[in-house]
Amino acid sequence: MSHDAPMIAFLGQPAPGEARPFSHAARAGGMIFVSGHTAPHDPARGIHRGATAAEEVRNAIAAMAGHLRDAGSSLEHVVQVTMLITDPADYHECNAEYVRHFPGGLPARHTARFGVPTEARVGFACIALVA
């Protein structure tokens, strides 16, 4: 019987002292775990989250898809999603955009309110199978 530690790859680890002390994703046991991320926002470079909740969903899911791609997967392999919203009034608009990104079937999901030191309306985390 082997006592080898399981192989875990941490992807996109933060630099020491960075304000966000978490990896973008981790890959282990044929699964990928993507940390919660909002839509990219860097006004100095002309990158904005989005003017509406739906636009933020679109941009945040695109960012999540990028982390999945970097880890060896895709949205088509997502089995569970966490949707984080700051304002329950955005729930229906977020859902209307969200379903467009999973045409092959909707992953299991839970939704929670969140507060972060940004003005983001929505963020996502997910668990996916390695492609």
Helix axes 91-98, 53-71, angle to 10 degrees: 40
- Looking at residue 67, its pLDDT comes to 95
- The CATH topology of domain 30-129 is 60s Ribosomal Protein L30; Chain: A; (3.30.1330)
Tokens of 82: 């966490």
- Looking at residue 46, its pLDDT comes to 87
Q: Cα–Cα distance between 94 and 63 in angstroms, integer?
A: 16
pTM of the shown model: 0.89
- Looking at residue 41, its pLDDT comes to 86
- Looking at residue 24, its pLDDT comes to 94
Q: Cα–Cα distance between 82 and 22 in angstroms, integer?
A: 17
Residues with Cβ within 8 Å of 110's Cβ and at least 6 positions away in sequence, in order, are: 82, 83
Q: Residue ranges per domain, the chain?
A: 30-129
Going residue by residue through the chain (131 aa), what tens digit of pLDDT does each one get?
456 667 999 999 988 888 888 999 999 999 999 999 899 888 888 888 999 999 999 999 999 999 999 999 999 999 999 999 999 999 999 999 999 999 999 999 999 998 767 789 999 999 999 98
Q: Cα–Cα distance between 127 and 101 in angstroms, integer?
A: 15
- Looking at residue 109, its pLDDT comes to 98
Asked if 120 and 66 touch (Cβ cutoff 8 Å), the reply is no
Q: Cα–Cα distance between 2 and 44 in angstroms, integer?
A: 52
